Amino acid sequence: MAGEDKKTLQLLVVLTSAVLVISLISAGAAFFVLMSKNTPATKKVIVEKPELGEIQNLGEFTVNLADPTESHYLRADVVMELDYGSSAKLTEEIDHRMPQIKDIVISSLGAKTSVQLADPENRDAMKKEIKDKINAILNRGQIAKVFFTSFAIQ
């Protein structure tokens, strides 16, 4: 019986050792597979932004707002950016149409209430509205953006 127990014990030691070696090899292989997976290097893509067009300062505007109950006014400096690469003829046209352009700005701003203009989203919509109305009267080019460089409601 002692011989059988000895063989069983040897077989058990060999099997345990084999399972341990296989487990270690599997763990090592899994580690190397996971570590060797190279995630492709992400390249930073540089997107060129369009050049800034010529800037035309329209000046300061002070307008009465369309508030029904109380009297409020707005003081704003308005600047517009011409499309990049616009010809000198567009600048010339803007100079000739400056009274019309200023009237568009005054009319557009004065048609809003102080509550409407206090909201930044409405201000952005106002910039787009002014830009669209000015572009509608221009023949030799377009303006790209309208900016408020100061904006105060009182």
Per-residue pLDDT reduced to its tens digit, 95-105: 999 999 999 99
Residue 19 lies in a domain: no
Residue 59 lies in a domain: yes
Supply 108's token pair.
Answer: 């557009």
Q: What is the total count of domains within the chain?
A: 1
Structure-model confidence comparison of residues 43 and 153, the more confident one:
153
CB atoms within 10 A of CB 91: 15
Residue 76 lies in a domain: yes
Q: What is the CATH number of the domain that holds 62?
A: 3.30.479.30
pLDDT-derived band of residue 38, with 50, 70 and 90 as boundaries? low
Give me the pLDDT at residue 20, please: 85
Residue 21 lies in a domain: no
pLDDT at 50 over 80: no
Give me the pLDDT at residue 24, please: 85
Residue 37 lies in a domain: no
pTM of the model: 0.67
pLDDT at 49 over 60: yes
pLDDT at 113 over 80: yes
Q: Which domain holds residue 70?
A: 55-153
Residue 75 lies in a domain: yes
Question: What average pLDDT is seen over the chain?
Answer: 87
Residue 61 lies in a domain: yes
Residues found in the chain: 154
Determine how β-strand 143-153 pairs with β-strand 55-64.
unpaired
H/E element, 81: strand 73-82
Residue 12 lies in a domain: no
Give me the pLDDT at residue 27, please: 84
